[in-house]
């Protein structure tokens, strides 16, 4: 059986991608609403659960976080990470590998996942249907405008068969606005030399 990139590297993902993860998640966290008290959150493409862990520590008064990821090996790492948290904190988390969600959310976050979505416009509409009135979506991804991505995306596709395509900040803005989200704030930032990220906060 052909394993995908994340099935292969799940055990080592956190150490191999540590600086990338630190730089991107720190930025995403700056774009969250100041208070998450009693809020319910979806982390779409949660990977090893690093953002979930950080949010539970930084915002202990949040109500609940659902983490979705299609790769079971990544979710296994997330389960292991959650098991190290106090029991009352673990109770706030649900991890799942299917993308049917029973309830609506106050906040959806998705970090370094947008370039994997086969139908990003349809997914944005899905996000919108999952958000409560006044809900917030924070998306972060690396951008097509980075030199590294512009010239070497073919190589990324070669090593990572799930990769669909990266987008420029402008393309992402157009897509979220076409899905009828209200743009609140956005920024292009440096993840690593020659490798830029884009973060955008929009609301329903
Ligand atoms: C670069 S990792 C980022 C993980 C996590 N969001 C973070 O920032 O640490 C990308 C994640 O997206 C997941 N993924 C791939 N295709 C996806 C899809 N179509 N929908 C949702 N998640 C997907 C992968 O399994 C992987 O865990």
pLDDT per position as a tens digit, 146-178: 888 888 888 888 889 899 999 999 999 999 999
Q: Residue range 178-203: average pLDDT?
A: 96
Helix (H) or strand (E) holding 58: helix 50-58
- Is-above-0.85 flag for pTM? yes
Q: What mean pLDDT comes out for the span 120-142?
A: 98
Which residues does 155 contact at the CB level (< 8 Å), separation at least 6? none
Separation CA 114–CA 141 (nearest Å): 6
**Structural domains in the chain, sorted by start:** 5-203 (3.40.50.150)
Cβ of 21 less than 6 Å from ligand 1: yes
State the DSSP code for 11. G
Q: How far apart are CA 27 and CA 24, in angstroms?
A: 5
Point out the least confidently predicted range of 86-90, 147-151, 173-177, 197-201. 147-151
CA 47 to ligand 1 centroid distance, Å: 5
Using an 8 Å Cβ cutoff, are 140 and 28 in contact?
Answer: yes
**Is the C-beta atom of 111 inside 6 A of ligand 1?**
yes
Name the residue with higher pLDDT: 154 or 13.
13
Residue from 17, 26, 70 to probe ligand 1 pocket by mutation (most atoms less than 8 Å from CB): 70
Bridge partners, residue 95, by sequence? 67
Quote the pLDDT of residue 2. Answer: 66
Angle at 38 between CA 37 and CA 39, to 5 degrees: 90
40-44 and 105-111 strand pairing: parallel
Rounded Cα–Cα distance for residues 118 and 40 (Å): 26
């Amino acid at each position: 059986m052909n394993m995908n990139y994340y099935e292969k590297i799940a055990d080592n993902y956190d150490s191999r991608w540590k600086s990338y993860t630190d730089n991107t998640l720190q930025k995403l966290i700056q774009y969250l609403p100041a208070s998450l008290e009693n809020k319910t959150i979806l982390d779409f493409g949660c990977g090893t659960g690093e953002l979930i862990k950080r949010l539970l520590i930084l915002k202990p008064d949040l109500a609940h976080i659902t983490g979705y990821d299609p790769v079971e090996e990544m979710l296994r790492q997330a389960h292991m990470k959650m098991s190290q948290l106090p029991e009352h904190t673990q109770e706030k988390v649900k991890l799942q590998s299917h993308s049917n969600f029973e309830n609506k959310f106050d906040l959806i976050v998705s970090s370094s996942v947008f370039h994997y979505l086969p139908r990003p416009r349809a997914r944005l509409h899905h996000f919108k249907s999952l958000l409560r009135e006044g809900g917030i979506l924070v998306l972060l991804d690396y951008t097509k405008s980075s030199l590294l991505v512009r010239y070497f995306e073919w190589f990324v596709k070669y090593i990572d068969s799930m990769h669909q395509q990266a987008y420029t900040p402008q393309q992402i803005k157009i897509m979220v606005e076409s899905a009828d989200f209200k743009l609140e704030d956005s920024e292009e930032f440096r993840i690593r030399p020659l490798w830029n990220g884009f973060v955008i906060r929009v609301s329903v």
